[in-house]
Structure 1
């Protein structure tokens, strides 16, 4: 059957073409930001203490002199993307020169910042991850559980256990996210931890979230529980310790169990297994805008490609909690695209 475009106006055809173009070139935005981080641009502007002239930026960058004019083009895109702000500055000779300053998103990419999210971006754009996306269509034709497995012949977790460099990057990624979430959680919803005597952070990585909680609540005994190779070299403190193990086999007992950004990594069957192990430790007794939806869809496909998990709506979460034997739950939208979920035995 022939496909005719005669029914569409020139404007509609050009809009459709632009939509294809923008989708095809979306990767340029993230790769350009990766380049800026690797060159140290957010740090250079931050360390200047005030908006930085383009000429001063060039002087500070580790680039070949022939590439100086290209930095202006890179910055033009990143200004458009909202990562930097620009204004014109007149010098004594009345010549205008660009002046760059940080925006809030780029402030989250400064290395010395307490909420530095650069590891999250750099790790997700590492070739180990990005190569997998070239095999997405191949994965759909195979029985492999993830695209990562199709690409690297093992799961992401097994790959991390064998590759210390990748494991370190993965831990840094999770830690960078935990710093921001811990700050918001302990600022806005601190009362959820009041009266809790002991807490286990399941798959808590290097302990960034648990450390923040332990520091805020010095009388609470906090435990980070993760795979042995993740916690092997981590040092305990007065009210924080580390235990190696497998959450699919058993979870250490505590008054409260924390699962941060964990269950979306796993399929429904695995989630029920994890939640049942959580349940054993206890005795019996939102409107979303288009941009947010797009981000959630990105994460869902990301989980599909790299793990065996998915993002879930409230109905799907309820099904898992009930299947694991919990009696009730509470969802509090608190972290932008994410929520704090409390489940009760």
Structure 2
């Protein structure tokens, strides 16, 4: 008979084994999530207005001969992960019905509300999954995983590949809408107090959705979307917003307020300082400020997004050009070196926070 200490040790080993199995196959969760978005399963259920059977889902996915057994196995894991619900009606001869949860609502592709569907399709695409296989080489040799996987940095790859450029920009645009909605809610007064005609430049603003939402909510603001020429060339027109192509490492359009959302985490400290100094040059001598929207890492934190922040830091290894997520101390040091000695951090109901920085 095993002693108590031996039982505890064996139980610990078994728990450790189970954890390794779980982490080893955690990619499967991402893949079934992507499958659900590609098949528009959340949209199908949502369009019915109530939970529906597996057969009803299968007949709506747009395939002449769907494999309902495979669909059932995918849905079983998604129910286990609480992405969807499953319940059996009070009758033995009736099929179980599947419904939406607070999680699956973030997978809708036809919603008027911001969702994460486009980001799921982008991040789980082979183009963006491939760099994760190069972490060992990054540690052994240095360099960036995306360049090791594809032979060039992500921005050059996007410039040469219109399909990837579209996929990547749509993914960034959808997360932009999620974050901007949270920001506009928590930082309403920050924009409202700006004087009429205040120029806000969104540096690295992609196709301009973020600054368009800011101007739409606060029409007294004049918006400029600034990004690489091949990016703004695909940008739609928005009321009150002009698009400017250029290179933020060379110069930034003149503005009263510089807005940078999920830009600085793509770059090394040295490159961030160049960008921030160019932003400083674009400001008036007095009264200007930078609004930065970025993750503030809490490595030991227990917050809702604390662990996701650490994953995002590894995402920078996979996709960025020497970038990283930063702690409060690292943000303070970076801003001071770039000529912004004063800043404050404002929490918003989203993964990143607002960092408001001033040159004086």
If the length of structure 2 is used for normalisation, what is the TM-score? 0.88
Query: How many angstroms does 1:155 deviate by?
Result: 0.5
Structure 2 equivalent of residue 166 of structure 1: 164
Structure 2 equivalent of residue 16 of structure 1: 16
Quickly say closer, same or farther: Cα 1:160–1:66, change in 2 above 3 A.
closer
Q: Is the 8 A contact 1:219 1:239 kept in 2?
A: no
Q: Say whether residues 1:36 and 2:48 are aligned partners.
A: no
Quickly say closer, same or farther: Cα 1:7–1:100, change in 2 above 3 A.
closer
Q: Say whether residues 1:344 and 2:345 are aligned partners.
A: no
CA distance in 1, matches of 2:66, 2:188: 53
Structure 2 equivalent of residue 283 of structure 1: 285
Classify the secondary structure of the residue corresponding to 1:243: strand
Query: How many angstroms does 1:234 deviate by?
Result: 3.1
Number of equivalent positions: 337
Classify the secondary structure of the residue corresponding to 1:335: coil
Q: Is the 8 A contact 1:329 1:343 kept in 2?
A: yes
Quickly say closer, same or farther: Cα 1:68–1:234, change in 2 above 3 A.
closer
Q: Is the 8 A contact 2:186 2:349 kept in 1?
A: no
Q: Say whether residues 1:333 and 2:335 are aligned partners.
A: no
Quickly say closer, same or farther: Cα 1:226–1:216, change in 2 above 3 A.
same
Higher mean Cα deviation, 153-162 or 134-143? 134-143
Structure 2 equivalent of residue 139 of structure 1: 138
Structure 2 equivalent of residue 319 of structure 1: 333
Q: What do you get for the CA RMSD once the two structures are aligned?
A: 2.0
CA distance in 1, matches of 2:55, 2:164: 37
Query: How many angstroms does 1:253 deviate by?
Result: 1.2
Quickly say closer, same or farther: Cα 1:195–1:294, change in 2 above 3 A.
closer
Higher mean Cα deviation, 189-198 or 150-159? 189-198
CA distance in 2, matches of 1:55, 1:7: 47
Measured against aligned partners, the alpha-carbon deviations of 1:244-279 in whole angstroms (never above 9, x if no partner) come to: 001111111111110001111111101111111111
CA distance in 2, matches of 1:329, 1:254: 19
Higher mean Cα deviation, 183-192 or 163-172? 183-192
Q: Say whether residues 1:124 and 2:123 are aligned partners.
A: yes
Query: How many angstroms does 1:219 deviate by?
Result: 2.0
Higher mean Cα deviation, 62-71 or 261-270? 62-71
Superposed, 1:251-270 pairs within 5 Å as 251-270=252-271
Structure 2: gaps (5+ residues): 1-5, 288-297
Quickly say closer, same or farther: Cα 1:71–1:226, change in 2 above 3 A.
same
Structure 2 equivalent of residue 154 of structure 1: 152
Structure 2 equivalent of residue 51 of structure 1: 51
Q: Say whether residues 1:296 and 2:309 are aligned partners.
A: yes
Structure 1 equivalent of residue 207 of structure 2: 206
Query: How many angstroms does 1:150 deviate by?
Result: 1.0
CA distance in 2, matches of 1:242, 1:169: 20
Structure 1 equivalent of residue 240 of structure 2: 239
Classify the secondary structure of the residue corresponding to 1:334: coil
Classify the secondary structure of the residue corresponding to 1:310: coil
Structure 1: gaps (5+ residues): 1-5
CA distance in 2, matches of 1:335, 1:270: 29
Q: Is the 8 A contact 1:90 1:97 kept in 2?
A: no
Classify the secondary structure of the residue corresponding to 2:152: coil
CA distance in 1, matches of 2:141, 2:258: 36
